[in-house]
A and B are shown apart, each in its own frame.
Chain A
Amino acid sequence: MTHAPVAARPRVGVVKFASCDGCQLTLLNLEDELLSIVEHFEIVDFPEASSSRSAGPYDVLFVEGSVSEPAHVERIVELRRRARFLVTIGACATAGGIQALRNWGDHDAFRASVYAHPEFIHSLAKSTPIAEHVPVDAELRGCPIDPGQLVELLTALTTGRRPQLRDESVCMECKRRGVVCVMVSKGIPCLGQVTQTGCGAICPRYGRGCYGCFGPREQANAAGLARHLQAAGDRPQEEVGRLFAGFTAYSEPFRSMVTDLGGTRTGRRETVDGGPLGDNDARH
């Protein structure tokens, strides 16, 4: 017919950088769809699932994890060359992940306190999202990613349409599902207003506040929310900063909130080399 899928039976790779593998497991957990997926996609490289490997080229490459080691920087550039369509999956790949909290700290001090021989540890001072290194065609947010969004992306790829990954607040999903707002009715701080939807409002559904694992939505008024939480909730500045210091802390505007309000363990004033966001090169 007339549509333009990415390829007849796209060659798919699934690779990882600094991450916990949870997002790849989301793919493996699609038990009802797996047979149909392998019918429509040729999975050529997926070390988490199979020992048969391929170095590409890939029609679609799913990338999990953040760039966290010097070797990662070259590897992602090389993988990008071999991928027609590159999709980052999860908070690590799209935002730098929880490990990006070190971006506000003293990298050398961390290494020295954790490892007996820190000289063997080749890590970068900052954990950064894939998009900071190479162009990215699509991203699936979350820690971990949402299985429904993954299936939506796959079906969009087979039909050649734009995947429907809504850019709106988590609140919209709460309200559609009739979830009572935890912030208004219980005073629990919630990042749902500034966070991109896609999770199905899972945390508020269980009576807790959203901690922003899908990252900031477009034009997220994080500063407005932070001001309100400080003023109305009578919360100290660091406590509000800490709300943003989660899995997607390194994504703007959450990043500015963490930097301006504090809230990481070491605090912003204890960092070195031109401030908390000094670049990697300064250290390596």
Chain B
Amino acid sequence: MVMTSSGRGPKPIAEGPAFLARADLQVLLDLLREDGRTLIGPTLDAGAIVYDEIASVEDLPRGWGDEQGPGRYRVRRRSDERLFGYVVGPTSWKKWTFPSLIPLTKGTRDGHRVSFEPAPIDAPKLAFLGVRACELAALGVQDRVLAGGPFTDPDFVARRAGIIVVAVQCTTSAPTCFCTSMGTGPEVTSGYDLSLTELDDGFLVAAGSRVGRDLLERLPLRPASATEQYGAAAVVANVRARIGDPVTADGLHDRLLAQLDHPRWAQVAERCITCGNCTLVCPTCFCTTVSQSTDLTGDHALSERIWDSCFSPGFAKVAGGSFRSRPRDRYRQWLTHKFATWLDQFGTFGCTGCGRCITWCPVGIDVREELNAIAPAVSLAPEAAIVEPVAAAPNDFVAARVLATRPETPGTVTLSLTGTDPAFARGSTGQFAMVALPGFPPLPISISRFLPDGIELTIRGAGPATKALAGLQIGDQVGLRGPLGNNWPLDRAVGRDLVIVTGGIGLAPLRPVIHAIIADRRRYGDVKLFYGARTPVDLHYRDELERWSKQDGIDVSLTVDRAGPEWHGRVGVVTQLFDQAVWDASNMIAFVCGPERMMQATATTLAGRGVPASRIYVTLERHMECGIGLCGHCQMGKYFVCRDGPVFSIAQLGDNFGREGI
């Protein structure tokens, strides 16, 4: 009997569970296909039940199940004709919501001109068939991470919008499942259009949205019997009982972060191959990197975004080395992110308990075992949720033109750029820009001055990309995206004495601070700049240093590591300059920029002289690619340095400041 809204009046079958015979499931698939949708669903391929494009019920894994354990997966013939008699396999739906490769930008160089053309977003019209509760939760996590923060991923937003989700209640489980612990399943409760519960000869069907109700009304249904309803509920309840509660999620955040020095991290690193499989099978892991390819002329470049993993050695690398050089650092980063700092950032765990990372770890490391060993259960309240409003991501790269170049020191040049994106006019001290030439990886570079119609960037030519930037000539173009990151808290310096401590090119991100102070000098108290360099010629902005000191009321103290014959000033490290300084720490605020060890030493000295940690600010360097907290590379504890920083107070960073491998 076909029930339609016209046949049933204004209260359609959506109000109560209905039954769809297994032989009629094709009707649903046809409805979705007639709507112009590509169907993605489970199918047997290469010895696993994967998600892929399907055309008909015949493509579903009829009569197939699976056996799973740590590092082990096998498909098994079932004794029945179930279509969904398996547990989640190696594929996750992020393959379609967040593909492993998307084109980003076409960069072109034509003589001095550069241009950047964003790739069009190609979002197909999809229907997902067979989404489990843990996977619905994972889509929800993706929504928060990629579409719920201050910056959104437009590609994800476009792909995710309008996908029809047909969920399936779990009627079977694997020993790797722990959705019950993570609070995501096994019951499908929300986030779907239609849900199916498979019974011996058909499905209990329920709608979870208006789209779902419309579909349901066009299906050949009959009302479900009480036995069928009871049976469906019982089978899911059985799954819950079978899984149990392998991990105590309550208080896990605090328990885990209290164990950053646990010896187990080194032990698990003996087993961990750092291959990255766990992160790429994870339905919520979102880290990416951008790869560049050029043709032989170098004039045409294509940048593509691909999945990346925090387990790869290059993930947290910067010019001087990696912030997480040891495998134990990377395992700790991953586990603490999934089960602790993800909560701070996104108000939800990064884990939905699907168990993929356990099954598909080639050496069978079980996160549940590691969690229970490192952070055994005690009762503590979970952290409050933080969900920030949706905002648009900054535009793609916009070409700016080199107006002037000025050598600062041997190997360092300041570029004055004009024709920058209007957003830079609203930029603030301490912010940075992603700077790109076609074919080269974009680099995060501090803005060293704000101009009426542009900015200045000070660049040290170290690697090929920075050398290419440092070699730009007047009239050349360069791509800019920004301004990005937060700023030095100048408002907190109003009416206070300010100490600025820096060395070498570290003065670049602080130079706009001094410009801002000079522009409104009377609002601030005593301003002292302590500035060090390796040799006298390595001092940046030398003309300005003199002017600041002589005319602008800034107390400038300089020191060098190695003096030349011309140098009559101080020799030694910058912290030694404090020895002679007289100050009132009670009303003081400090801005510090330099290598992390120098900043630590400076912060310790300042704290020792009475400046509170909440008023000592540093700016951090990390591996940055996206600049807006979406690619994952610059994570430090609960922060994305690019988005939440780069400026932090020592109080904010707490014990993580200077900790190895964070």
Q: Contacts A219-B327, A232-B71 known; A171 to B277 CB distance under 8 Å?
A: yes
Tell me the B278-331 residues at the A interface (CB within 8 Å): 280-281, 291-298, 306-307, 309, 312-314, 327
Which chain B residues border A99 with CB–CB below 8 Å? Answer: none
A176 at the interface (CB under 8 A from B): yes
Which residues of B are found within 8 Å of A40, using beta-carbon distances?
296-297
Q: How far is the CB of B284 from chain A (nearest CB, A)?
A: 15
Interface centre among B274, B361, B463, B464 (most CB of A within 10 A): B274
Q: Does B549 contact A (CB under 8 A)?
A: no
Given contacts A155-B293, A176-B101, A207 and B274 within 8 Å (CB-CB): no
CB-CB under 8 A for A221 and B272, given A37-B296, A155-B295: yes
A 39-85 contacts with B by CB, 8 A: 39-40
What are the residues of chain A within 8 A of B585 when measuring CB–CB?
none
**Which chain A residues lie closer than 8 Å to B361 at the CB level?**
184
A177–B465 alpha-carbon span in the complex (Å): 29
Q: Say whether B547 faces chain A, with CB atoms less than 8 Å apart.
A: no
Q: Which of A162-170, A242-250, A262-270 lies at the binding interface?
A: A162-170
Shortest distance in angstroms between B54's beta carbon and chain A's nearest beta carbon? 15
Find A218's partner among B101, B313, B467 (CB 8 Å cutoff). B313
**Chain A contact patch, size range:** 35 or more
In whole Å, how far is B328's beta carbon from the nearest beta carbon of chain A? 11
Which parts of B41-63 form the interface with A (CB within 8 Å)?
Answer: 45-48, 50
- Report yes or no: B467 in contact with A224, Cβ–Cβ below 8 A: no
What 1/0 mask marks residues of chain B from 69 to 95 whose CB sits below 8 Å from any chain A CB? 001111100000000000000110001
Within A223-272, which residues are at the interface with B (CB < 8 Å)?
224-225, 227-228, 232
Residues in B neighbouring A169, C-beta threshold 8 A: 273-277, 312
* B372 contacts the other chain (CB 8 A): no
The CB with the most chain B CB atoms within 10 A, among A33, A184, A217, A224, is that of A184
Contacts of B46 in A (CB 8 A): 179-180, 185, 207
Chain B residues with CB under 8 A of A2: 468, 471-473, 476
Write out the residue numbers on chain A whose beta carbons fall within 8 Å of the beta carbon of B476: 1-2
Instruction: Check if A176 sits within 8 Å of B100, measured CB to CB.
Output: yes
What is the 8 Å Cβ interface bit string for chain B, positions 537-577, against chain A (1 contact, 0 not)? 00000000000000000000000000000000000000000
Residues 364 to 387 of chain B near chain A (Cβ within 8 Å)? 364
Query: Which of B73, B100, B362 has the most A CB atoms < 10 Å from its CB?
Result: B362
User: Is A159 a contact partner of B294 (Cβ separation < 8 A)?
Assistant: yes
Q: What residues of chain B lie closer than 8 Å to A217, measured between beta carbons?
A: 313
Q: Which of the residues A39, A187, A193 comes within 8 Å of B273, measured between beta carbons?
A: A193
Question: Which of A152, A172, A190, A232 is the one whose CB lies under 8 Å from B364?
Answer: A232
- Contacts A4-B464, A4-B468 given: A228-B313 contact, CB under 8 Å? no
Quick one: CB contact mask for B89-116 with A, threshold 8 Å, 1 for yes? 0110001000011000000010110000
- Whether the pair B276, A1 counts as a contact (CB closer than 8 A) is no
Which residue on chain A has the smallest CB distance to residue B52?
A: A178
Cβ-neighbour of B275 out of A156, A158, A180, A193 (below 8 A): A193
Task: Report Cα–Cα, A4/B437, bound state, in Å.
Answer: 13
State whether the Cβ of B491 lies closer than 8 Å to any Cβ in chain A: no
B439 at the interface (CB under 8 A from A): yes
| A154 proximity list for chain B (CB < 8 A) | 296
Name the contact of B307 in the complex, choosing from A4, A5, A152, A176 (C-beta under 8 A). Answer: A176
Tell me whether B360 is interfacial, beta carbon within 8 Å: yes
Q: Which residues from chain A contact B292 at a C-beta distance below 8 Å?
A: 161, 164
Q: Which residues of A contact B101 (CB under 8 A)?
A: 176
A181 touches B360 (CB 8 A): yes
Distance of A99 from chain B, by nearest CB (Å): 28
Residues of A within 8 Å of B359, CB to CB, are 184
Q: Closest CB of chain B to A25's CB: distance in Å?
A: 20
Residue of A nearest to B317 (CB): A167
Q: Which residues of A contact B297 (CB under 8 A)?
A: 40, 158
Contacts of B362 in A (CB 8 A): 171, 181, 183-184, 190, 193, 225, 228
Question: CA A183 – CA B327 in complex, angstroms?
Answer: 22
Does the CB pair B298–A158 fall under 8 Å?
Answer: yes
How close is A129's CB to chain B, nearest CB, in angstroms? 21
Does A194 interact with chain B (Cβ within 8 Å)? yes
Give Cα A152 to B304, complex, Å. 14
Contact B296 A164 (CB under 8 A): no
Q: Is A160 an interface residue (CB 8 A)?
A: yes
Q: Bound complex: CA of A160 vs CA of B48, how far in Å?
A: 44
Contact check, A162 vs B307: say whether CB atoms are below 8 A apart: no
Given contacts A162-B463, A193-B273, contact A184 B73 (CB under 8 A): yes
Distance from B124 Cβ to chain A, minimum over Cβ atoms (Å):
16
B465 partner residues in chain A, CB cutoff 8 A: 161-162
With A and B bound together, what is the CA distance between A85 and B500 in angstroms?
44
Within 8 Å of chain A (Cβ to Cβ): is B270?
A: yes
CB distance from A135 to the nearest CB of B (A): 18
Q: Assess A161 versus B277: contact at CB under 8 Å? Given A155-B294, A168-B309, A225-B363.
A: no
Tell me which of B91, B112, B291, B313 contacts A178 (CB under 8 A). Answer: B91
Which A residues are in CB contact (< 8 Å) with B74?
185
Asked if B522 lies at the interface with its beta carbon under 8 angstroms from chain A, I say no
What residues on B are CB-neighbors of A160 within 8 Å?
Answer: 464, 467-468
Rounded to whole angstroms, the CA-CA distance of A224 and B71 in the bound complex is 14
B440 at the A interface (CB under 8 A) = yes
* B609 interfacial by beta-carbon distance below 8 Å: no
Q: For window 198-222 of chain A, which residues contact chain B by CB distance below 8 Å?
A: 207, 217-221
B237 to A: closest C-beta gap in Å: 30
Chain B residues near A185 (CB, 8 Å)?
Answer: 46-48, 73-75, 90
Closest to A187 in B: B72
Q: How far is the CA of A193 from the CA of B274 in the complex (A)?
A: 8
Cβ of A48 to closest chain B Cβ, rounded Å: 21
Is residue B210 contacting chain A, with contact meaning CB distance below 8 A? no
Write 18 A-B pairs (CB below 8 A) sorted by A numbering: A36-B295, A161-B294, A161-B440, A169-B274, A169-B275, A169-B276, A169-B277, A169-B312, A176-B100, A176-B101, A179-B46, A180-B48, A180-B90, A184-B361, A187-B72, A194-B273, A224-B272, A225-B362
Closest A-B pairs by Cβ, 9 of them: A159-B298, A175-B280, A193-B275, A176-B100, A2-B471, A168-B312, A228-B363, A169-B275, A193-B273
Q: Which residues of B contact A (CB under 8 A)?
A: 45-48, 50, 71-75, 90-91, 95, 100-101, 109, 111-112, 270-277, 280-281, 291-298, 306-307, 309, 312-314, 327, 359-364, 437, 439-440, 463-465, 467-468, 471-473, 476
With A164-B293, A175-B307, A178-B100 already in contact, 5 other A-B pairs whose C-beta atoms are closer than 8 Å: A159-B440, A172-B307, A176-B280, A180-B48, A225-B363
